[in-house]
Amino acid sequence: MNILLLGSGGREHALAWKMLQSPLCNTLFVAPGNAGTATIAQNINISPLDFEAIKSFVLEQAVNMVVVGPEDPLVKGIYDFFKNDAALAAIPVIGPSQHGAELEGSKEFAKKFLVKNNIPTAAYDSFTKETVEQGCAFLETLQAPYVLKADGLAAGKGVLILQDLAEAQQELRNMLVGEKFGQASTKVVIEEFLDGIELSCFVLTDGKSYKVLPTAKDYKRIGEGDKGLNTGGMGAVSPVPFADDAFMQKVEERVVKPTIQGLINDNIDYKGFVFIGLIKVGDDPFVIEYNVRMGDPETEVVIPRLQSDLVELFIAVANQKLDETVLSVNPKSAATVMLVSGGYPEDYEKGKVITGLNKVEGSIVFHAGTSVSGDDAVSAGGRVLAVTSYGHDYKEAIKKSYQNIALLHFDKMYFRTDIGFDL
Ligand code: ATP
């Protein structure tokens, strides 16, 4: 079949790499893709948000399936766009409907969904400009640290965790009245702080049944010891050693099953990935957030561990026959380390030539922010490459990635040397 994958990051390179291993995949198009996907698939210069251009392309090229990498097209309703168009309705889109995508698009929607379905999560309330004073009063009933979350998508920057009450009240005003995050902060969720260790659980669902994919832990901060500014993610490992069978059984019973049942109860069309951000408090899982697509860089460790045919799984998702498939997972660990542009996540330069790609042995280099320039791959974003390796445990996998990173270079390349330090 002909498949169109939307997106341009390391996540999409990993999804493309895996789909191309399937005998069911004839031609893979990636819109817009990067220098990595260009070497294995056909990049096309279309924005994942230009639904009309996607429609024309899909019809011209007889595309049989669309796989959506990032959240934006989902939150903007690409699933519904296909479903409601007579010419496109028969072409499956792997991803949730716009209604389902609200689990990521609106933190208040997600919190309501969690509470309604009795899924463990931090206690919360939400406020608007009109109720800002009630919000300040609510903060007084909580203990530090205070967690303020802009309701809408804010590129991972919309969550503030503050130690001081007065500062938290001021920031609440800045968000609601001062529109600190624009439209995204017209509503703010205030929630109880949960003290624990974070991990991510990934689920593939056809809207009726589900498969729990391998767990992963990512490292969000720019600096060693997980200090400094937040990034899109500096590395990841899978599986997560502290998510043992007993814990994962709790996750499945208390979180995954009620999540899928909640979608069914609310008639939410959902055929795609659910990314559940968890925090382990003591021995118990609590949900921090839902995302409606795979994580990046978690995809670069989760997908390489799948032994099942990903295209076959996607077809089963589209036909709601996931319960008839078997998910097989490589028992080895996988780790990835992100190579980023110096200065990221603040200002950084692009267009730096990447060398050493052909010297790498025993790791997979997934491209993130790269593009093709003549015969070279050059940096084109903050996060540039994800170097993934397997090992008998995460330490061996990480070591392999660092050995290969020594062979790679671009001007002002930076990476963390402590991925997995807290496991
Ligand atoms: P991202 O896009 O970076 O995943 P986000 O902006 O969607 O994040 P959340 O995942 O809800 O927002 O929160 C960001 C981070 O803030 C979490 O990864 C976690 O470290 C911290 N956090 C959020 N809620 C809580 C909480 N209730 N208690 C403790 N820490 C929290």
Q: Is the CB of 24 under 6 A from ligand 1?
A: no
* Ligand 1 geometric centre to CA of 135 (Å): 19
Give the mean pLDDT of 21-36: 98
Q: pLDDT tens digits, residue range 104-125? A: 999 999 999 999 999 999 999 9
Rounded Cα distance between 350 and 331, Å, is: 38
The verdict on 11 and 61 lying in the same domain is yes
Cβ partners under 8 Å of residue 210, min gap 6: 203, 204, 256, 260, 274, 322
pLDDT at 157: 79
Instruction: Label the pairing between strands 42-43 and 27-32.
Output: parallel
Give the mean pLDDT of 288-294: 97
Q: Give the domain extent around 69.
A: 2-95
Q: pLDDT tens digits, residue range 347-379? A: 999 999 999 999 999 999 999 999 999 999 999
CA distances from 274 to 102, 141, 244 (A): 12, 33, 20
* Ligand 1 geometric centre to CA of 291 (Å): 11
Which one, of 396, 290, 369, lies nearest residue 37 by Cα? 369
CATH code of residue 49: 3.40.50.20
148 forms beta bridges with 160, 190
| pLDDT of 33 higher than 90 | yes
Q: What share of the chain is helix, strand, coil (3-state, %, to 5)?
A: 35, 30, 40
* Ligand 1 geometric centre to CA of 47 (Å): 28
Query: Could you tell me if residue 144 is inside a domain?
Result: yes
pLDDT at 164: 96
The verdict on 129 and 55 lying in the same domain is no
pLDDT at 272: 98
Number of domain units in the chain: 2
The verdict on 60 and 6 lying in the same domain is yes
93 forms beta bridges with 66
Helix/strand/coil for 75: helix
| pLDDT of 155 higher than 80 | no
pLDDT at 248: 98
| pLDDT of 156 higher than 80 | no
Which residue has its alpha carbon closest to ligand 1 atom 26? 193
CA distances from 300 to 86, 386, 388, 409 (A): 35, 7, 7, 20
End position of a domain, from candidates 141, 167, 191: 191
CATH code of residue 152: 3.30.1490.20
Q: For the range 390-393, what are the long-range contacts, defined as Cβ-Cβ under 8 Å and sequence gap of 24 or more?
A: 390/304, 390/330, 390/332, 390/333, 390/334, 391/332, 391/333, 391/334, 391/335, 392/332, 392/333, 393/241, 393/333
How is residue 46 written in tokens? 């279309």
Query: Could you tell me if residue 268 is inside a domain?
Result: no
Per-residue pLDDT band for 167 (boundaries 50, 70, 90) equals very high
Percent of the chain whose pLDDT exceeds 70: 100
- Sign of the four-CA dihedral 60, 65, 71, 76: positive
Q: pLDDT tens digits, residue range 401-415? A: 999 999 999 999 999
Per-residue pLDDT band for 46 (boundaries 50, 70, 90) equals very high
Q: Is the CB of 196 under 6 A from ligand 1?
A: no
Q: Is the CB of 295 under 6 A from ligand 1?
A: no
Query: Could you tell me if residue 142 is inside a domain?
Result: yes
Which one, of 210, 382, 202, lies nearest residue 294 by Cα? 202
Can you tell me the ipTM of this complex?
0.94
Query: Could you tell me if residue 208 is inside a domain?
Result: no
Ligand 1 atom at minimal distance to the Cα of residue 295: 4
Q: pLDDT tens digits, residue range 230-255? A: 999 999 999 999 999 999 999 999 99
| pLDDT of 60 higher than 80 | yes
The verdict on 65 and 140 lying in the same domain is no
End position of a domain, from candidates 95, 116, 142: 95
Q: Is the CB of 144 under 6 A from ligand 1?
A: no
pLDDT at 361: 97
Query: Could you tell me if residue 138 is inside a domain?
Result: yes
End position of a domain, from candidates 191, 209, 244: 191
Q: How many CB atoms lie within 10 A of CB 42?
A: 15
Which one, of 14, 11, 3, 40, lies nearest residue 304 by Cα? 14
The verdict on 91 and 137 lying in the same domain is no
The verdict on 145 and 60 lying in the same domain is no
Give the mean pLDDT of 159-178: 95
**Average pLDDT for the chain:** 97
| pLDDT of 90 higher than 80 | yes
Which one, of 392, 300, 380, lies nearest residue 337 by Cα? 300
Q: Is the CB of 198 under 6 A from ligand 1?
A: yes
* Ligand 1 geometric centre to CA of 407 (Å): 35
Query: Could you tell me if residue 110 is inside a domain?
Result: no
73 vs 153, more confident = 73
* Ligand 1 geometric centre to CA of 157 (Å): 9
Ligand 1 atom at minimal distance to the Cα of residue 157: 6
The verdict on 57 and 142 lying in the same domain is no
Angle at 236 between CA 359 and CA 4, to 5 degrees: 75
Query: Could you tell me if residue 176 is inside a domain?
Result: yes
Residue in 288, 293, 299 to alter for ligand 1 test, most ligand atoms within 8 A of Cβ: 288
For 108, the enclosing helix (H) or strand (E) is helix 107-116
* Ligand 1 geometric centre to CA of 10 (Å): 22
Q: Is the CB of 277 under 6 A from ligand 1?
A: yes
Which residue has its alpha carbon closest to ligand 1 atom 14? 159
Give the mean pLDDT of 34-46: 98
The verdict on 78 and 19 lying in the same domain is yes
Q: Are 31 and 47 in contact (CB under 8 A)?
A: yes
Amino acid identity at 18: K
Q: pLDDT tens digits, residue range 187-232? A: 999 999 999 999 999 999 999 999 999 999 999 999 999 999 999 9
* Ligand 1 geometric centre to CA of 235 (Å): 17
Query: Could you tell me if residue 166 is inside a domain?
Result: yes
pLDDT at 398: 98
Give the mean pLDDT of 141-149: 95
The verdict on 35 and 79 lying in the same domain is yes
Give the mean pLDDT of 37-52: 98
How is residue 31 written in tokens? 């819109």
Helix/strand/coil for 288: strand
Residue in 109, 119, 159 to alter for ligand 1 test, most ligand atoms within 8 A of Cβ: 159
How is residue 137 written in tokens? 């009063």
Residue found under tokens 């990480």: 398
* Ligand 1 geometric centre to CA of 142 (Å): 18
Rounded Cα distance between 324 and 265, Å, is: 22
Rounded Cα distance between 93 and 70, Å, is: 13
Which residue has its alpha carbon closest to ligand 1 atom 10? 289
